[in-house]
């Protein structure tokens, strides 16, 4: 999976992905890889020592500090967006992502706790047609990163033309 | 992850996902779950006994039969699309998926072999900004399924308005 050599210095995007609520190591490892592929600004995790990572900028944000950290990010101009199915959620393709976005993923089973949901500017949900299962948290994060990247690219193309 | 009871009989989409070249069981299990979430028409795998599955329609298409099977699908009106980075690949958001699509995923490391690439109507690639790694095959398949679903939904909305 890993190539040798030094990475090209392509610019990172403005999105910070927050996986501090994600517990399972394969999901954290997968999200780290996917964040690097999409050149996210950073990945926040609860314990930085769990994720061996050479390339991706990691932030250590334990769950106890998460609400404080998110409020601070909003003051820095970030919009706070959670991936969660709620009555008020916007469908993912219909949310216009601002370049400076903080994207919060939920716990593997329980999703995003209420006290953090209340802090968010938006919740988005990925349109799911099946009723038996829901998407894995790594896959949900990857799809949201793809959609964010797709929108940023389309906006850049529109500016150029 | 699994709920009990009987699934709602929502219509399946027209896309068949082909994972006959995918080897790793976690990737196959993940793709099965993701296909069910997006209500793909079917998932083709090389060995149906590997994937314990209650809800998702599975097709057994061993690698040796893949080219024959794909040619047959084209005769049935399916467009053959591969997820692969090639010089001639279309970026995923820019490919207009036909409702009847067969989407071929590559091997975990080597991708799609040349003899199958030659059969395809299109190759698509997911825009990736990083240079160190590439997306996991389950994640690639999930993003392609999301994009397909997004386009089909947008077309349905356009017809209704």
Instruction: Give which of B157, B155, B161, B149 is closest to B12, Cα–Cα.
Output: B149
3-state secondary structure of A10: coil
3-state secondary structure of A148: helix
Instruction: Give which of B4, B52, B27, B145 is closest to A132, Cα–Cα.
Output: B4
Predicted local confidence at residue B130, as pLDDT: 80
Q: Is A69 on the interface with B (CB under 8 A)?
A: no
With 0-12 / 13-18 / 19 or more C-beta atoms within 10 angstroms meaning exposed / middle / buried, residue A99 is middle
Q: A25 CA to chain B: closest CA distance, Å?
A: 14
Model confidence pLDDT, tens digit, residues A72-96: 999 999 999 999 999 899 999 999 9
Best of A26, A34, A37, A153 to mutate (most B CBs within 10 Å, chain B): A37
Predicted local confidence at residue B56, as pLDDT: 87
Q: Has residue A2 got a pLDDT over 70?
A: no
Please provide the DSSP assignment of B45-97 as one string: ES-GGGS--SSS-EEE--GGGHHHHHHHHHHTTPEEEEE---TTPEEGGG---
More confident residue, A18 or B87: A18
Phi, psi of B151 (to 5 degrees): -65, -45
pLDDT (tens place) for every residue of chain B, 161 residues total: 333 334 445 689 999 999 999 999 999 999 999 999 999 999 999 998 877 677 889 999 999 999 999 999 999 999 999 999 999 999 999 999 999 999 999 999 899 999 999 999 999 999 988 877 789 999 999 999 999 999 999 988 888 88
Instruction: Give which of A53, A24, A34, A54 is closest to A141, Cα–Cα.
Output: A34
């Amino acid at each position: 999976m890993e190539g040798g050599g030094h990475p090209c210095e392509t610019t990172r995007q403005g999105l910070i992905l927050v996986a501090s609520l994600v517990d399972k190591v394969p999901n954290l490892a997968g999200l780290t890889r996917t964040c690097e592929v999409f050149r996210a600004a950073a990945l926040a995790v609860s314990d930085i020592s769990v994720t061996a990572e050479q390339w991706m900028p990691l932030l250590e944000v334990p769950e106890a500090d998460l609400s404080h950290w998110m409020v601070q990010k909003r003051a820095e101009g970030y919009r706070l967006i959670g991936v969660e199915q709620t009555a008020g959620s916007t469908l993912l393709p219909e949310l216009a992502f601002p370049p400076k976005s903080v994207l919060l993923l939920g716990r593997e089973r329980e999703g995003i706790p209420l006290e953090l949901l209340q802090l968010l500017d938006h919740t988005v949900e990925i349109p799911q047609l099946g009723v038996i299962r829901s998407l894995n948290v790594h896959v949900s994060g990857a799809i949201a990163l793809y959609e964010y990247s797709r929108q940023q690219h389309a906006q850049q193309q529109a500016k150029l033309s």
